[in-house]
Structure 1
Amino acid sequence: MVGVKLLGSWYSLFTKRVEWALKIKGVKYEFIEEDLQNKSPLLIQSNPIHKKVPVLIHNGKPICESMVIVEYIDETFEGLSILPEDPYDRAIARFWAKFLDDKWPAMIKSIFFKGEEQEKAKEEVYEMLKVLDNELKDKKFFVGDNFGFADIVANAVALWLGVFEEAFGVVLVTSEKFPNFCAWRDEYYTQNKKYLPSRDELISHYQTYIEAVAASK
């Protein structure tokens, strides 16, 4: 599709959500890799409020925030539906997507922070995992029998949370505590590898980041 550009970073889970939606729809696009330490004038101009990726530019008009962009792609381009057709199912998909997205700050704090704030964040993550472990028992998808909106947003817990655990040496998820979640996560990664970056490459990227931060101190 002429006139579609995506400003993003290859290691960004939010960018990957948008790429995933574009690929599901079969939309041709130009990917522009952003250096988030040296943001381009185009990124700053396109997202002047947050100055972050991803940004979809369609016919010269920018759209920001990954979940907003995914819905825009679903509504704008022909192809397989990402959100369910049924209004109730669509509402449930949005509920789970928001639930997962709202927990991302706690996931970050549980990995990167130290002390009391980290422990509070871990408790919030454990509660989230308990909910998911119950919800995903014997389920492949969040809503119905098809991969969709909530499943795309779930890349945060299905891949990136585990990558951060390994890269930063923090253990949050075990199959003993959360067997249903772990079974779902393994199936998710196996079935969707073509839409996801290499787990090993992500771990290497974040380990390099850790080393660079340590060297700068």
Structure 2
Amino acid sequence: MTTLKVSFRGTSLSSSSSPTSRQHISDSVAFSLPKKSLTAKFPNTFIPCPPKLRLQASSGKKARASLSAIVATGVQEVLPPALTSSSVPPTLFDGKTRLYVSYTCPFAQRAWIARNCKGLEEKIELVPLDLQDRPSWYKEKVNSTNKVPSLEHNNEIKVESLDLIKYIDINFEGPSLFPDDPAKREFAEELFSYTDSFNKSVFSFFKGDGTDAAAGAAFDDLETALSKFEDGPFFLGQFSLVDIAYAPFVERFQPFALDVKKFDITAGRPKLATWIQEMDKNVAYTKTRRDPKVHVEIYKRRFPAEV
């Protein structure tokens, strides 16, 4: 039995943080604890640090999944330094599960977000690589394409970011990141397929090969997609793998387009603006996010003709 003591100072604790979420929780609990403390006991649960608690009357697997998701957001992970060509490699294929990423790669960030959303910080070791000084052992023993992300699991290597986020969701415990609704699953696959076209349209714009109109059309497609389901602000209504697929790229496109191209991707796109705001509230995602200024500088080096 693990005991968690949470201190509150003039804090109002509620089962819902927004009017939208309150619509779906009819039996919520709200109270305030000024300058008091609350001790909560969670059987067989390891809690590395006090998480934010959102109380919801629920039971069974759904309650356990909800608790897992909340606890996951409270894990204060110390990010390891990126490994270089001179770094000592990990002991490969020793039964541990490792996620090989780069802190600057949006494709790797997808898998990193999925790991965090599932609450797997303690079960999937993060192994960051310096892509400018890549270790030779990575290509030789982990991923022959020399790309990230890669997942070392059950002494096998899994690759490709979209495949990886699905694999992590299916093969590890934690809240499901994919809906059961057939219509939503079908639309999700359409959006997964569109990611490459979306990225290419925006990159063409950044390189000077595309027009403002073409780039605008790509973001209009996101606005339209976000309008399909009305049960939440995300692509499938509720947060899912689809949001994980797009977030790392929008995170980079938005500041560079505004800074260099003077192009506001949210202008005239209220659904997209709201989606970005909601993503910024997701702790599992924000723990992977970098400073927008860093993205701008990286893209300025990548697209120097446009600066």
Q: TM-score surpassing 0.5?
A: yes
Q: Among 150, 156, 172, which residue is 1:77 paired with?
A: 172
CA distance in 2, matches of 1:47, 1:178: 39
CA distance in 2, matches of 1:132, 1:73: 25
Counterpart check, 1:47 vs 2:143:
yes
User: What corresponds to 2:244 in structure 1?
Assistant: 152
Bigger mean CA deviation after superposition, 13-22 or 170-179: 170-179
- Whose relative contact order is higher, 1 or 2, with alpha carbons under 8 Å and at least 6 apart? 1
User: What corresponds to 1:10 in structure 2?
Assistant: 103
Structure 1 residues 124 and 4, CA, compared in 2 at 3 Å: closer, same or farther? farther
Counterpart check, 1:105 vs 2:200:
yes
Q: Is the 8 A contact 1:158 1:188 kept in 2?
A: no
1:147 CA displacement: 0.8
CA distance in 1, matches of 2:294, 2:99: 24
Structure 1 residues 60 and 172, CA, compared in 2 at 3 Å: closer, same or farther? farther
Which structure has the larger Rg?
2
Structure 1 residues 159 and 209, CA, compared in 2 at 3 Å: closer, same or farther? closer
CA distance in 2, matches of 1:97, 1:42: 31
Number of aligned positions between the proteins: 203
1:213 CA displacement: 9.3
Q: Among 171, 177, 185, which residue is 2:276 paired with?
A: 185
1:55 CA displacement: 1.0
Q: Match of 1:23, SS? A: helix
CA distance in 1, matches of 2:118, 2:111: 11
5+ residue gaps in structure 1? none
Q: Among 129, 136, 139, which residue is 2:219 paired with?
A: 129
Letter in 2 for 1:17: R
User: What corresponds to 2:31 in structure 1?
Assistant: none
Structure 1 residues 161 and 38, CA, compared in 2 at 3 Å: closer, same or farther? same
Task: Give the alignment's TM-score, normalised by structure 1.
Answer: 0.79
Superposed CA offset, 1:130-170 (max 9, x none): 222233246501114x2111111120454121133256x12
Percent identity of paired positions between Structure 1 and Structure 2? 25
5+ residue gaps in structure 2? 1-94
Counterpart check, 1:29 vs 2:120:
no
Q: Is the 8 A contact 2:169 2:177 kept in 1?
A: yes
Q: Match of 1:103, SS? A: helix
Superposed CA offset, 1:42-97 (max 9, x none): 4313221x321111111221111111001111121122111212333222112112
Letter in 2 for 1:72: Y
Structure 1 residues 177 and 16, CA, compared in 2 at 3 Å: closer, same or farther? same
CA distance in 1, matches of 2:235, 2:162: 16
Letter in 2 for 1:124: A
Letter in 1 for 2:161: S
Q: Match of 1:154, SS? A: helix
Select the structure that is richer in helix.
1
Q: What is the alpha-carbon root mean square deviation over aligned residues?
A: 2.7
Task: Give the alignment's TM-score, normalised by structure 2.
Answer: 0.58
Q: Among 243, 257, 262, which residue is 1:165 paired with?
A: 257
